[in-house]
Chains A and B, each alone.
Chain A
């Protein structure tokens, strides 16, 4: 038996593992073909152990990885008991560990010369199209997986001996729109996974597989210690947080409230999140896959903890997330649809957890992050009049949604909870070059911030339309009736809205979901949600409020009525009048 590694050796190997994941991500970003990958960066890479536990992530979208890669690897083992070097598996099945069908995931088992499996590397990327019945990867109105229409791959072998299994590729090419684009993205994902495989084998050459497995055990123990410590710094208590989703097809007429019961045991250093007391699955695309249910609860917890705690299976030992079979925010059985599982309900779960924790006494938790997905984050499709070619792609034209926390103002461009601001935003010129469109306006709206001691994000407005021709935009916009709530006295952030502006300038309100055509000379106007504020706005530093006014985030009227700050004609704080107003 080899001796234990010390803290220095552990740090060394951790850096090496993270380096492998960064190398994978870099490859995927720079070689991907669809905008959602190479401009939006809507993808994640990670390493799981041979025991199917999450070991290393870097640079990833939280909703993609915290839980899911573990279950997807389990499915690979279950269906393919004998793994060989050169294998690659495609998994996008929400019934087998994937987040939702749009996130095609390539898993490559890393096998040594003796044929022994040691780790699995995972590359997951949101696709521009997956062959749904409509040209969008988000199908909130789908009754079930059949109406949704995507090809579902429950850990299906797509490479053997490092060669593609062409049958599978041909099936995809017959079903997925713009097959060449999909094929390019597939190549990029395979490339990323193969680079991870090569690097791990190289790492083992230097250190030996035994040492890497020893690292894995000790790293999990270390992470668990850090997690327990972080929880011990919080007060014990049991709270229930809620968050309400807007009415959608298949949901009750007044929307659906998600409830999360959070129990913090500071003495033991453990947290329980119970999601079992929620509605049953619904005939809609909003049901959560088990991966997303688990992960969204974790996001709410990690948003409330010391960020230095490593995110891996070791830390997760201190978390008990209770889910129910057949629950809309639990384990969704086939054939219920999980089409929009990474965004809408998942965001509500994480919001319920973190706003619940915020009701504890102390600087914990976070306000509500705004809801997705406005049309400015929609899936656009059509025929490009310049080339006569069909195109389909998720655009990332504008978003905000960030919530204020106990330590500061919101990260404006958070997009939604599961994304946490990791995605890129399309440049105007790149968007107009790659799609036949014009982006008339993109800006933040005044007086839409979640007011508070710390400010939630302001809503964004994006106005765009076709240049020549027409296009369709698919989206599923929550947050119009239930805009993001503040916590600890913080205010509500701006609500979402969407209109069509006709060629004679008339504005028509659009349904919050659907695939909507935008005609020649028409403009789609998309307003995203803002984010909730933290603490009473009356406690916000008056000079900072003056700066907010000077910079156009809030009006001087709002500074006075909501923040209790009176400004003089030159924009400086009128200290006496402010003190008077704030005393009331």
Chain B
């Protein structure tokens, strides 16, 4: 048996795959003060469902995969270690200058961000390298020992070291690391050239500081998780989801915590790729995961999940830039809990403020008074107040109606159902805009892509989103309500290694390229050997971070065959670069040289053979009415057919208006759209 859990803000999702390959979903409330409890609660639900006790079920488990927000939450809530930053002399304000930039020029209430490591804990090291890595000023060890004394006096719990040009020549950083280990034993240290070897010292410093600051807390967390699973009877292997969409052995997390910052959301595109391959192979994919408060968008282009170094914790510019490569996931504050309001000038707003799960939408009857997207869905008849989450929770229709009437319909001077319709449409527009922003940055044309709707609230408006984007196909997978956890079961053990270097097609340095590539490859091989994978199930791919001469924003381009040994290899790479640049920016510049500023090798070891990941079929019948009154702007109140997702006949074409329900979600199909359930279990909708 295999277990995959994803701890989200509201729910902890669990996907269990039994030895026959059938899978089942479970959701338990997340316990913010003790996330492991939420995991154990979900596992207990699964055991009960099988009529077993927890230890007997866990005893059958061979693999436990964990997606966790523990690291990112520790940063958001400031519960990280007391961390010092050591930098090159003259540059102690690196974390204050950052990279400049601002979002709202006239909003003076958005205050200048505080540095991740305060000035009082930032120390200078007497040394300096130049751009090529040559030493301008040697490392002053006597001075450094004095600094280490200050660190001890300041009761520092973790140390990050980021020296200029350490990626070209790590000697000084390595020596600082040795002296810290010797004179400050037991205090975890992160060195920037090892954590994140990339040009742009601020990003490197930021990922290194985040890494160091998380080491103590993630070491405790992983220790606790592993022990409590063991105590509960689980003797299999524990793995954790990484930001780059792979798996990492649980015992390695404490050494590299920055790698799991975006654990969880990184898995949605892996699942999206799987379901698209089954029902619409070859397409670009937009994966949208709708939660209660955020809407997460990720992509698959040519079978590859695009990565970014621009992951922010919190708001862009005002939050923390992680700087470490992560699956490109864009999150916007839009979801079922997004609050609708009308301003003094008569303009409707939806979000980014959210009612969250407490107090929640008005219809939850938990004290919420502001109308939300969920309330609008209840008023429109999309959600049956008596059958929310399969009837586990009753919703207050009258309350939702009154709130929208008073706060939206009245000031806009329109009917209540039209007000609810507009709330849902504006929320849709905000989501569409977010998709447009991320697809343009990655050069994907939404009109030629498949949209995957994941998350519990996806079904409410995914049809409208797909139509606005011009997508011809919308897929709602049967595991859509727990997309990330499902993706975790499909992923490989992955490790990434990178090198910062400078190569130009103007005069290509084959020696340098060969040395870097062979070094990366041997690190990959060593990892594969450690993982016990055989050669047949191991794959190594190489990405170059490249750009035209004088550009500074590089793009990721796969190196064909992972080789840059000959003129022909370089020509093939150049062609791949031109093509990628044209795809993303519509411009190809054959007259300019191409520069490579970094190489990243990814090694993937397959954990298993392909499986079909089908949901186990539910037993018994569900007693539901045949139709329900629902509202659409063009057709007014209309009778929509009600279907139960798992009972919907396969490969039969149906047309809207219809509502497709399951125990985890509700899918709305408006009168213009058609839909079909495929043999893979997914619902395909053509808007």
Contacts and interface: CB of A to CB of B under 8 A. Distances in A.
Size class of A's contact patch? 35 or more
B100 interface: yes
B139 interface: no
B91 A422 contact: no
A435 B666 CA distance: 58
Nearest to B597: A433
Given A12-B426, A411-B112, A429 B100 contact: no
A225 B345 contact: yes
Given A307-B107, A402-B112, A405-B108, A421 B102 contact: yes
A443 B90 contact: yes
Given A30-B553, A38-B552, A222-B347, A195 B586 contact: yes
Contact of A412 (B96, B342, B343, B423): B96
B270 to A, nearest CB: 26
Given A425-B100, A429-B201, A184 B550 contact: yes
Given A26-B440, A422-B102, A440-B90, A407 B349 contact: no
A303 interface: yes
Interface in A276-325: 302-303, 305, 307-308, 311
Contact of B344 (A10, A226, A396, A409): A226
Given A33-B550, A442-B93, A443-B91, A10 B99 contact: no
Contacts of A19: 433, 436-437
A104 B413 CA distance: 46
Given A19-B437, A225-B345, A428-B91, A7 B99 contact: no
B131 A302 contact: no
Contact of A420 (B105, B342, B419, B423): B105
Interface string A118-140: 00000000000000000000000
Nearest to A418: B105
Contacts of A30: 441, 551, 553, 584-585
Interface centre among B419, B422, B552, by most chain A C-beta atoms within 10 angstroms, is B552
A351 interface: no
Given A421-B100, A428-B91, A444-B93, A11 B347 contact: yes
B109 A408 contact: yes
Contacts of A438: 128, 130, 136
Contact of B201 (A366, A428, A440): A428
B433 A16 contact: yes
B119 interface: yes
Given A31-B587, A409-B112, A398 B426 contact: no
Contacts of A473: none
Interface residues of B, number: 71
A350 to B, nearest CB: 12
B672 interface: no
Nearest to B99: A424
Contacts of B441: 26, 30
B165 A429 contact: yes
A547 B436 CA distance: 43
Interface in B524-573: 548, 550-553
Nearest to A441: B90
A366 B551 CA distance: 37
A8 B100 CA distance: 35
B125 interface: no
Interface in A82-117: none
Interface string B576-607: 00000000111101001000000000000000
A62 interface: yes
B21 interface: no
Interface string A25-65: 01101111111001101000000000000000001011000
A578 B361 CA distance: 48
Contacts of B201: 427-429
Nearest to A194: B586
A41 B102 CA distance: 11
Contact of B550 (A6, A18, A22, A181): A181
A6 B585 CA distance: 36
A429 B164 contact: yes
B679 interface: no
Interface string A395-427: 010100010010111111101000011111101
Contact of A422 (B94, B105, B426, B552): B105
A3 B429 CA distance: 22
Contacts of B414: 6
Interface string B60-86: 000000000000000000000000000
B101 A35 contact: no
Contacts of A427: 99, 199-202
Contact of B131 (A187, A429, A463, A553): A429
A57 to B, nearest CB: 10
Interface in A212-230: 222-223, 225-226, 229
Interface in A442-476: 442-444, 463, 467
Given A15-B429, A407-B109, A440-B90, A413 B100 contact: yes
Contact of A442 (B91, B108, B436): B91
A10 B343 CA distance: 12
Contacts of B419: 8
B648 interface: no
A432 interface: yes
Given A229-B345, A307-B106, A442 B90 contact: yes
Contacts of A15: 426, 429-430, 433
A238 B429 CA distance: 43
B553 A38 contact: yes
Contacts of B349: 11
B515 interface: no
B131 A467 contact: yes
B104 A307 contact: yes
Contacts of B93: 442-444
Contact of A433 (B131, B413, B429, B437): B131
A187 to B, nearest CB: 7
A1 B440 CA distance: 36
A584 interface: no
B637 interface: no
A334 interface: no
Interface in B412-466: 412-414, 419, 422-423, 425-426, 429-430, 433, 436-437, 440-441
Contact of A366 (B99, B108, B200, B422): B108
Contacts of A415: 100
A439 B91 CA distance: 9
Contact of A12 (B90, B429, B552): B429
Contact of B119 (A18, A29, A181, A552): A552
Contacts of B422: 6, 8-9
Contacts of B589: 184, 187
A576 interface: no
B120 interface: yes
Contact of B585 (A31, A34, A35, A307): A31
A334 to B, nearest CB: 31
Given A23-B440, A429-B165, A303 B106 contact: yes
B430 A191 contact: no
B68 to A, nearest CB: 32
B235 interface: no
28 contacts: A6-B412, A7-B345, A7-B348, A8-B426, A11-B426, A12-B425, A22-B437, A26-B440, A27-B440, A27-B585, A222-B346, A225-B344, A225-B345, A226-B343, A302-B106, A308-B343, A412-B96, A412-B112, A413-B112, A420-B102, A421-B105, A424-B101, A425-B97, A427-B199, A429-B131, A432-B130, A442-B91, A467-B131
Given A31-B587, A187-B587, 18 more contacts: A6-B414, A8-B348, A29-B553, A184-B592, A225-B344, A307-B104, A308-B343, A396-B100, A405-B108, A407-B108, A415-B100, A420-B106, A421-B100, A424-B99, A429-B199, A429-B200, A434-B550, A552-B119
Name the 8 nearest CB pairs between A and B, nearest first.
A8-B422, A420-B105, A425-B100, A441-B90, A421-B102, A307-B107, A8-B348, A405-B108
